[in-house]
């Protein structure tokens, strides 16, 4: 059923109301009419009846059409309003129309009323459609504006006829300008000067040749002078003679790209430095193998007192050189993020024992050594034992170096129980040396830092990397490092590390054999080494502990002789001509029946090198230079 048209009549005469209603119905319009004759009732009907059209008598005793029109416009400015009267002149009627009435009908021409109603409703529907269109247009403009704001994209339009540029709000914000419309000359002054010819040429090629207008340039923003990176796309419309485009502020993107490039270059630089230092370490360690081996062999001969003094000096210098190469290599690995933490289960008491042996081996001064607090630690812990010992030996070396008398103490204590079976452990090395001024402590743990100690007998030694490495390693171990010191009262260097508390019966614990048994039988050992001097020295070292040695110069010879003879052990240099040690090891392990253990020999000292060699099938690995005792320990480990 078609909905009836709701009409509100403002009419004081009932007969005139009924006449108008009948005329409209006779005109074929289904209506629902209501009549009021006071302002109060009129206002109430507007709210309650919600009319679709108002028909008002111009003049009534207590109310008139002009008041009704004003109230109607306040209520709904688009509500159709028809003045119906018999006493209105043309001037008054025009005045009503000017004030907002839709139409007027004279009562003497009442037959025209249905047409006036239809026309008013048609206008109202058109007006509503227009308003809906404008509302949607505003919504679309708002959404576009918000989208441009979120995406940081602005739109612009250049009119070649007027030479004016129209910019959206976001485009104006990007450029730092206020006017929505600007002369093209003002807009072209915003890009940096050296970009302007490129932009002109891009526009010309786009219009004349159809090339894509896709440009990146930098601008100096008008309002604050900030330099920004801009990306712009545009297309020419020959019908309107306009170039329409968008701009995007890509400053953050450009900065991120630059940062990524800088990070990449920094990583490449760090990798290059690490590889370079590793290669230098390799080149230094290779001749050190021969020098250290010969020195060790000479010590086993009958030497005079002066010769023994010479050998001690030589050994001290060799150890210093080895420490320098180790520290530089460790520092480069830390910088490149290549340090790998390898936790094992061990007894803290083993650290105390190894530290004491180390102290006895390096200390030639009247210094005493003692340990404290290790009994307070759990019987078994899980942490990187090798790195913990590396920090301790470095701190002990410094204590020996800068102390002339007194006692060096190695202290340990639980720093904090973290729960979940974890504990933070604190290790301290305390000496009675000259102490350190407070202002000098800040630079102690910086790379290549050496502080001046006012003691003529304390000469600066080393690379200045030791404490820096200790600090970085302690962080990698989940702790930190520091120092407490006063001039004239000695120093206490400390570090902490995170450890997992293990049960005393933990199956993962393997007791470290600190004592190496003497060799009781002769092994037949194949040595594959291309450097003749190293071949000679290593052979002499092996023969000095009672083993038979066969030598070859490359991996191919090593593989061939292993197919012909039986060996108890193969010492395989990794880098050799013809065939390297890795390839030779793979062949020996895959082609030879009952292959012997293969031990890699290399001057490379990186953790990843060890993993690479063991993955290739080597049973273990020794880094050059090494001592005879290192070989003895390895043979004992392999149970040969």
Q: Which of 218, 249, 280 is the last residue of a domain?
A: 249
Residues 419 and 470 in one domain: yes
Measured distance CA(346)–CA(502) in Å, rounded: 9
Residues 428 and 345 in one domain: yes
Residues 126 and 37 in one domain: yes
Residues 161 and 104 in one domain: no
**Distances in Å between the alpha carbon of 375 and those of 352, 413, 414, 473, 477?**
10, 9, 10, 24, 22
For residue 458, what pLDDT is reported?
A: 47
Give the CATH number for residue 189. Answer: 3.30.450.20
Residues 553 and 610 in one domain: yes
Give the CATH number for residue 457. Answer: 3.30.565.10
Q: What pairing do the DSSP bridges indicate for beta strands 81-85 and 103-106?
A: parallel
Q: Are 204 and 236 in contact, with CB atoms under 8 Å apart?
A: no
**Residue 244: helix, strand or coil by DSSP?**
strand
Q: Which of 214, 249, 284 is the last residue of a domain?
A: 249
In a domain, 255, yes or no: no
Largest Cα span, the chain: 149
Which residues partner with 601 through β-bridges?
573, 622
Q: Which of 470, 502, 534 is the last residue of a domain?
A: 502
CB-based burial label for 631 (10 Å; 0-12, 13-18, 19+):
buried
Measured distance CA(569)–CA(589) in Å, rounded: 12
In a domain, 607, yes or no: yes
Interacting residues of 64 by C-beta distance below 8 A, sequence separation 6+: 57, 58
State the helix-helix crossing angle for 532-544 and 251-299, rounded to 10 degrees.
Answer: 50
pTM: 0.50
Residues 545 and 612 in one domain: yes
In a domain, 564, yes or no: yes
Give the CATH number for residue 591. Answer: 3.40.50.2300
Q: In order along the chain (640 residues), what is the average pLDDT of each group of 10 residues?
A: 83 91 91 93 93 90 89 91 78 82 87 90 82 71 57 83 91 89 90 92 91 92 90 91 90 87 80 69 73 80 83 72 70 70 90 88 84 92 91 89 86 91 93 83 69 49 70 91 88 94 75 50 92 89 91 94 93 91 92 91 70 84 83 86
For 425-487, the three-class secondary structure string (H helix, E strand, C coil) is EEEEEECCCCCCCHHHHHHCCCCCCCCCCCCCCCCCCCCCCHHHHHHHHHHHCCCCEEEEECC
In a domain, 459, yes or no: yes
For residue 8, what pLDDT is reported?
A: 94
DSSP letters along 133-158, please? HHHHHHHHHHHHHHHHHHHTEEEEEE
The domain containing residue 44 runs over which residues?
5-130
In a domain, 279, yes or no: no
Number of domains composing the chain: 4
Other C-beta atoms closer than 10 Å to the C-beta of 300 total 10
In a domain, 603, yes or no: yes
Residues 117 and 156 in one domain: no
In a domain, 20, yes or no: yes
Per the rule left: phi > 0, alpha: psi between -120 and 50, beta: everything else, 380 is beta
Q: Which helix (H) or strand (E) holds 248?
A: strand 242-249
For residue 451, what pLDDT is reported?
A: 57
Encoded tokens for 472? 């970085």
For residue 460, what pLDDT is reported?
A: 45
- Side by side, which strands form the sheet with 31-36? 31-36, 5-10, 53-57, 81-85, 103-106
Other C-beta atoms closer than 10 Å to the C-beta of 53 total 21
């Amino acid at each position: 059923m078609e909905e009836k048209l709701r009409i509100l009549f403002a009419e004081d005469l009932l007969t005139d109301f009924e006449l108008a209603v009948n005329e409209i119905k006779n005109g074929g319009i289904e209506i629902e009419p209501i009549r009021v004759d006071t302002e109060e009732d009129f206002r109430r009907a507007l709210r309650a009846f919600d009319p679709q059209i108002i028909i008002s008598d111009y003049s009534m005793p207590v109310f008139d059409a002009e008041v009704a029109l004003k109230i109607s416009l306040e209520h709904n400015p688009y509500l159709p309003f028809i003045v119906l009267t018999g006493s209105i002149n043309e001037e008054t009627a025009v005045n009503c129309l000017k004030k907002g009435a839709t139409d007027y009908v004279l009562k003497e021409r009442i037959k025209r009323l249905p047409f006036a109603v239809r026309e008013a409703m048609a206008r109202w529907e058109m007006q509503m459609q227009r308003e809906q269109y404008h509302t949607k247009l505003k919504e679309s403009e708002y959404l576009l504006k918000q989208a441009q704001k979120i995406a940081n994209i602005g739109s612009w339009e250049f009119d070649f006829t007027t030479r004016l540029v129209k910019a959206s709000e976001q485009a104006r914000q990007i450029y730092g300008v206020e006017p929505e419309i600007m002369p093209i000359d003002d807009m072209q002054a915003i890009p940096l000067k050296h970009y302007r010819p490129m932009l002109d040429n891009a526009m010309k090629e786009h219009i004349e040749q159809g090339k894509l207008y896709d440009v990146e340039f930098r601008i100096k923003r008008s309002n604050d002078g900030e330099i920004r990176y801009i990306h712009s796309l545009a297309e020419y419309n020959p019908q309107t003679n306009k170039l329409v485009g968008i701009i995007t502020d890509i400053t953050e993107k450009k900065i991120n790209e630059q940062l990524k490039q800088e990070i990449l270059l920094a990583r490449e630089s760090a990798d290059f430095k690490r590889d370079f230092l590793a290669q230098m370490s390799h080149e230094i360690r290779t001749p050190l193998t021969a020098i250290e081996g010969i020195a060790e062999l000479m010590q086993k001969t009958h030497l005079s007192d002066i010769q023994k003094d010479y050998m001690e000096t030589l050994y001290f210098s060799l150890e210093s050189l080895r420490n320098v190469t180790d520290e530089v290599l460790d520092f480069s690995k830390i910088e490149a993020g290549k340090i790998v933490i390898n936790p094992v289960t061990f007894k803290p008491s083993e650290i105390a024992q190894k530290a004491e042996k180390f102290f006895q081996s390096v200390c030639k001064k009247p210094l005493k050594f003692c340990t404290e607090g290790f009994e307070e630690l759990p019987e078994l812990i899980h942490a990187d034992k090798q790195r913990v010992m590396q920090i301790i030996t470095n701190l002990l070396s410094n204590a020996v170096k800068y102390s002339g008398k007194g006692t060096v103490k190695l202290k340990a204590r639980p720093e904090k129980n973290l729960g979940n079976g974890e504990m933070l452990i604190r290790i301290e090395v305390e000496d009675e040396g000259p102490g350190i001024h407070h202002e000098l402590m800040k630079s102690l743990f910086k790379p290549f830092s050496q502080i001046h100690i006012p003691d003529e007998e304390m000469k600066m030694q080393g690379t200045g990397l030791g404490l820096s490495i200790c600090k970085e390693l302690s962080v990698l171990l989940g702790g930190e490092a520091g120092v407490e010191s006063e001039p004239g009262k000695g120093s206490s260097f400390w570090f902490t590390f995170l450890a997992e508390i293990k049960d005393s019966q933990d199956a993962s614990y393997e007791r470290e054999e600190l004592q190496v048994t003497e060799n009781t039988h002769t092994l037949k050992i194949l040595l594959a080494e291309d450097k003749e001097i190293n071949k000679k020295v290593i052979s002499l070292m092996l023969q000095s502990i009672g083993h038979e040695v066969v030598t070859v110069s490359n991996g191919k010879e090593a593989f061939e002789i292993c197919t012909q003879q039986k060996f108890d052990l193969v010492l395989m240099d990794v880098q050799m001509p013809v065939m390297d040690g890795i390839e030779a090891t793979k062949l020996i392990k895959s082609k030879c029946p009952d292959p012997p253990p293969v031990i890699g020999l290399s001057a490379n000292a990186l953790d990843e090198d060890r993993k690479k060699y063991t993955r290739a099938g080597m049973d273990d690995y020794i880094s050059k230079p090494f001592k005879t005792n290192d070989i003895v320990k390895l043979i004992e480990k392999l149970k040969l």
